[in-house]
Amino acid sequence: MLADCCVSRRGVLTIGAGAALTGLIGEGLSTRLAFAGTPYTGDTLVVLSLRGGFDGLSAIVPIGDAEYYKARPNIAVPKTNVIAGDAMFGLHPAFAPLQARWAAGTFGAVHAVGQPNPSRSHFQAMEDMERAAAGTSIRTGWLDRTLGVAGASFPMAGVAMGTSSPARLLSGPAPSLSMLGVDSFKLNGNDAKTPMMGTLTKLFDGAPDLLAQPARAVGQTLGTVGALPAYTPAATYPATALGNALRDVARLVKGNVGLMAAAVDFGDWDMHEALGTAVKGQRMYDHLTELALALDAFATDLGDAFTRVTLVTLSEFGRRVAENGSRGVDHGNGNAMLLLGGGVRGGRVHGTWPGLAPANLTAGDLTATTDYRTVIGEILQRRCGLGALTEVFPNAASAAPLNVVSAR
């Protein structure tokens, strides 16, 4: 029984085979809980990690840069195929489900984004991006630090959806939760014959807060999730892991459970070969279609709550400008971030475009002209109500806002 529900020295309390509560034990608990008196009124921030190295040059196509077509003679998206955009950029045709949101200004992008000290190693680059504390010994995730600054005191404030393992972004002392799905969330072995929750409550009855808090959090979280009514989405999601995860995030947002931030993963972007042309049935086209359909369903399902949600995508790195001999693209640097939400200033591509002429590249890669933390920092301040970001992004240089979102 202890294998089903246990507390580790790292501060993780496992609820079942597909869920875990994190950050409830150890150094930092008392300071994090001290913020609980101020209710959170900012946007729910949804961080969608496009794992594997998203090719921003395929998604947000630089149609006005002739060097793009020279570098990718077989896999470039033709100007005649793009949708929306302007003279410099166009959307990959697979984004058709989101075209109306681009026109409405609630879907947008930032191009030529990167991070300090870029790496072409998936592991190193993603760890650095999720830690976001270059040049320091800090090991927590930046989303965990965001929850701490925002005053998170209940695990439902930060949720990694669609995973049974604690998310790196949420690693740290702020309470958070990982779950495969809302309907499957339970305490293993807890039923009428084996009331595990009752036993757990009695076990810590009268114990010091430092020891009892995890057990209380389990009970509160199970009660909150269990009280959610049966859910019928207001949109048709694709029957995929991404669609299921975003559906459950929307359910939590609309259920007003106190969700401040959610982390969702969507992988398989490491397209070293057979990336394909911009037509249905090709690898990049079909993967972008899956992404676009899920995002559009998410926005539709949220309804009025869409005005208080901001979704942003991250990927550990972009791809090289030139295609390789396998008609794919290898690990690169500069990339595109996608933005979706009621407060997004969309319908445009933000950022400074450096150009793709060989002299303007960095070791064959798109040069990053915008630090990804600048984009996220603006969202945190304008949409989530945070003030100074020195705790969230230590050592980040100050930069002028890009105006990617409007203030609440």
- Per-residue pLDDT tens digits for 114-155: 999 889 999 999 999 999 998 899 999 999 999 999 999 888
Residues with Cβ within 8 Å of residue 179, at least 6 apart in sequence:
15, 18, 19, 159, 160, 161, 163, 164, 185, 248
Q: Give tens-digit pLDDT for 338-367.
A: 999 999 999 999 999 999 999 999 999 999
Residue 150, both tokens: 């925002």
Which domains, ranges and CATH numbers included, belong to the chain? 36-153+239-382 (3.40.720)
Report the length, in residues, of the chain.
408
Average pLDDT along the chain: 89
Question: What's the Rg (C-alpha) of the chain?
Answer: 22
In this prediction, residues 312-337 reach a mean pLDDT of 98
Q: What is the pLDDT at residue 166?
A: 78
Residue 15 has pLDDT above 70, yes or no: no
User: Considering the entire predicted model, what is its pTM?
Assistant: 0.90
Distance of CA 153 to the CA centre of its chain: 21
In the chain, % helix, strand, coil (3-state, to 5) comes to: 35, 15, 50
Q: What is the pLDDT at residue 286?
A: 98
Residue 161 has pLDDT above 60, yes or no: yes
Torsions phi, psi for 387 (to 5 deg): -95, -120
Burial category of 31 from C-beta neighbours within 10 Å (exposed 0-12, middle 13-18, buried 19 and up):
exposed
Which of these ranges, 81-90, 181-190, 336-345, has the smallest mean pLDDT?
181-190
Within 13 A of 50's CA, how many CA atoms are on the CB side? 28
Calpha distance 197→397 (Å, rounded): 47
Burial category of 34 from C-beta neighbours within 10 Å (exposed 0-12, middle 13-18, buried 19 and up):
exposed
Query: What are the angstrom distances between the C-alpha of 248 and each of 26, 134, 232, 241, 254?
Result: 30, 33, 11, 11, 10
- Across 158-167, 199-208, 299-308, the highest mean pLDDT is recorded for 299-308
Residue 190 has pLDDT above 90, yes or no: no
Calpha distance 323→67 (Å, rounded): 12
In this prediction, residues 39-68 reach a mean pLDDT of 96
Q: What is the pLDDT at residue 205?
A: 79
**Share above pLDDT 70 across residues of the chain, in percent, rounded to a whole number:** 86
Q: What is the pLDDT at residue 191?
A: 66
Q: What is the pLDDT at residue 200?
A: 67
Residues with Cβ within 8 Å of residue 183, at least 6 apart in sequence:
none
